[in-house]
Structure 1
Amino acid sequence: MAIVEIVLGSVLASFFQVLFDKLASLGLSNAQREGAPPFSGISTDLLNNWRKTLDTINAVLDDAEDRQLSSNCLVKLWLDDVRDLAYDMEDLLDVLALQATQVKSGAKSSTSRGRINWKFSCFGQDKSSRSNLNPCLLVSETEVQEINGRLEDIVIRKDRLSLRENVVGKSYYTNQKLPSTSLPETQFFGRKKEEAQILERLVSEVENSDATLSIVPIVGMGGVGKTALAQRLYNDARVKSYFETRAWVCVSDVFDVFDITKTILRSITGLSCEGEDLNGLQVKLKDSLSGKKFLVVLDDVWNENYGKWTDFLKPFEAGAKGSKIIVTTRNLPVVSIRGASPYHLEQLSLDNSTQILKE
């Protein structure tokens, strides 16, 4: 498992939010000048342009993360450059924020003496103003132009790599992923606490609830171990004895109600069900599950369409109270559709990650 690459995409997505916050803070400082030259030495328009460009890059990070896992070296290099730019941009924004603080402090001092000096250029100050600033905190026009150039280069390469924005359905990586099975991994590291907590949710019934069916979502970033954990739970001895029937489906990129229903029915009954339409499949599935306590695992789900979920779940309401559906997904909105309480799977500890690398 390419742990470093998997973590990189998630870290970048979080780090971009830090940059957005810093840009917003500088923009607010500039706006409060009421027509005076900007605190930061960079115009509000330029800050807004940086924000828009970062939005464009941020929108394709999920797709880039998927594609680098398929050993696409050009995408990996692109992500590395995005990371380096993000770090350098943060450093520059921190300097601008300190510079803005110094200028603001100097402006207040001048106001108290009745002498307001607005001679503050786009990338520097006049001689008298400059003397009041720490020279280490001055941002040059060259540094700003360099950031602009790197931003433009990354956007151009994004287009050449055909990275897609806001990918929540079929993606390059999920299309290449082999359908996972319910068989557990031969090596399993960590997750003892998580396994015990989710197991308790599976084999216990919610008090004072009339609901027949409960959904147990396992949510986490790609490669964090959602499927491996679900496999462990699916094959646990307590789970096998608690549920009368079980079924496993790797959903992946396309949430096809017909195909998923057919796979579950075939898994439960052993019948091929060829020639049946969706209505026929759902009637048979409802009859097969009627009055039984069942467990179904939907692995790697991306669908956020409420209508598809409603159509898919109709046969499952016939099961006995205590029936469960485990959903593994990267997308939190997937599980919010049914109001299910998600179980967030965090990254492995350093010790367990190191052990995986050793193996």
Structure 2
Amino acid sequence: MPIAEVFLGAFLQVLFDRLASHELLKLAQHKGIDALLKNWEKKLTSIDQVLIDAEDRQLTGDRGVKLWLEDLRNLVYDMEDLLDELVTESAKNKSEAEPSKVPFLLPSCCFNLSSRAFMFDRKMRSKMEEMDNRLKDIITRKDIMRLTEYNGQRSAYRPQNLPFPTTHLTEELFIGRENKKMEILELLTGEEDDGTYMDIKKIPIVGMPGLGKTALAQQVFNDDRVANYFDVKAWACVSDDFDVFSITRSILETTNPQLARECKTLNSLQDELTKNLSGKKFLVVLDDLWDKNYENWIFLLKPFRSGVKGSKIIVTTRDREVASMVDAQLITLEVLTLDYCMELFAFHALGVRNFNHHPNLEVLGRKIVEKCKGLPLAVKALAGLLRTTNNPREWEDILNSKIWDIPEDRINVLPALKLSYLHLPSHLKRCFAYCAIFPKDYEIQRDELICWWIAEGLVEAKEAKNQWNAGLNYFNDLVQLILTWGSLRVITVIYL
């Protein structure tokens, strides 16, 4: 599994669960290794207490800590395999007569064991001694590096039972972009419908990641003036994999869902979309366009030429070269002012639009917002992280995180989003980390993913029904979190 060492904390809890399992405890007492396993648990707990500091120091380029985390990761995986092997072997031997309860590490003459069982115990003894030495070395290096223990609760995240918005729905608070919204509305509704129109007006919204391009497009898409002006509206998320088939199908589903399901080829999809848009004035939003291939762009546009004059296409993109390919007047977004960011932060962190009732948090809030550099996505991510706590210490933890010190050319995701991940509860963090095995923009089936989580031992429940319900809750919590972050691609970029 290609999970970087920074996510080790998500999986250490799995080993704790193994060590605490009733079956293993019973076997350990029978074999006389319960004291050793308890010692392992104690040492691993001391390591768990410093993982937060280790994660932060690795993010800032501490190579010694990185190597330590690599060794710890390998040891944790080896320990988990060994414990599973012990339990499996015990199950195989249940039909055999049980030996008397004597210490596992005594010589063979003291055992009433079969030859196979004796050889297995010798192999396990050797492995456990080797792992015990590795664990002692890791503890020694931990002390030398002076990793700091964290005794509080790192996670400020609490699951909220909020409805999940769809891709095109507007956000609860939209500020700082009203002028841009009016500019786009004028471009959308400023032409008369007087016959066919061979060229479609395109409106690209351009800006760096996190500026709110999608939020602005959502506002325009759902405005009443737009609804009254166009016969058909459609929204398609493009992303960096420019799949003409998928984009065309998602647009056709708006006009005729049944046909979209029946069409199996791109030719049939484009033919049906051409018929469904013929003689109609439409608005299509292509959200998050990356592809710079002009031929792909022209090929995608073929069915749209059947619409009438007044039809429009809105494109959101972070790349000015892509916007230029669209060949239209650009709507360029700049960073939000500090005052707007403070209002946005207060709304998502405190549920109000100012700090009047929380003066003790205003200074900390302003310092956190300044680190977001005017990016609404970063502001919302950190505000959401602090939404359920008014404890100044937790706000200071966010402000003083070492992740802010990483040079911009060494990080490929907003520090605010990385912080949001690092502050997840361990059970959600390890399930989220598991998703890194999937390719970019892979369509993950919910039920299959939950089954895989359960099979990997990532779901904290014993009975099958309870495991499924717990896994479903994990999934819903992660979907809500990812939607707060603003893009499903966060799953990919955090792990690159």
Normalised to the residue count of structure 1, the TM-score between the two structures is: 0.49
Normalised to the residue count of structure 2, the TM-score between the two structures is: 0.36
